[in-house]
Amino acid sequence: MKKAKKNTMFQPLKAIIFLAMLLPFPSFAQTTPRGKVEVIKDSRIDTLIARRYATAKSGTGTTTGFSSNGYRVQIFSGSDRNQAFKAQAKFQDKYPDIRTYISYHEPNFKVRIGDFRTRLEAQKMLYELKPWFPLMFIISEKINPPKLDTDTPQ
């Protein structure tokens, strides 16, 4: 019986010694001074970021690669591809400076026009087009923001 007491008495002591041996190891993990962050990255990332900003600042209008939430007017939806292209051409004859978008979601082709920031702008266009395209509605989606006038002083 005395042997059993000796073994149980040394169990906590063995655990403390084992933990004391492991304590110094985590302190070797930090080799940089506290508060300093070292970033290791590929130099091509900086090149890509610079190209994106250069494209955005080039003034090319809608091809900047940036998008935001806005509105478009859907002027056609149907399964006939030729009718979709006719609707697009009909709109482009009247408004050549406004972009059109044709998409295909099985089984329908959809023709959407414009990159409007506000619903009010899209609503004005919808009223202008009512005589030529009777079945239209406004869609909320990601748009290519139009070029802003930066020449005017603020």
Strands 100-105 and 108-116: antiparallel
| pLDDT confidence tier of residue 18, bands split at 50, 70 and 90 | confident
Prior bond of 107 cis (ω within 30°) = yes
Confidence of residue 72 (pLDDT cuts 50, 70, 90): very high
pLDDT, mean of residues 96-101: 90
- Show the CA angle centred on residue 152, arms to residues 149 and 154, nearest 5°: 110
Look at the pTM and tell me if it is higher than 0.75: no
Averaged pLDDT, 132-151: 79
> Three-class SS of residue 110?
strand
Q: What is the mean pLDDT of the chain?
A: 78
Give the residues across from 104 on adjacent strands.
109
- Kindly report the CA angle at 104 between 99 and 109, in degrees rounded to 5? 80
pLDDT at 38: 80
Instruction: Give residue 27's pLDDT band: very low, low, confident or very high (50, 70, 90).
Output: low
Mean pLDDT computed over 73-97: 92
Q: Does the pLDDT at position 119 exceed 80?
A: yes
Report whether pLDDT(29) > 70: no
Q: CB-based contacts of 58: which residues, under 8 Å, 6+ apart?
A: 64
Q: Which fold has domain 74-143?
A: Alpha-Beta Plaits (3.30.70)
Distance between CA atoms of residues 72 and 140, nearest Å: 7
Indicate whether 62 pLDDT > 50.
no
pLDDT band for position 89 (cuts 50, 70, 90): very high
Q: Which of 139, 146, 122 is nearest to 66 (CA)?
A: 146
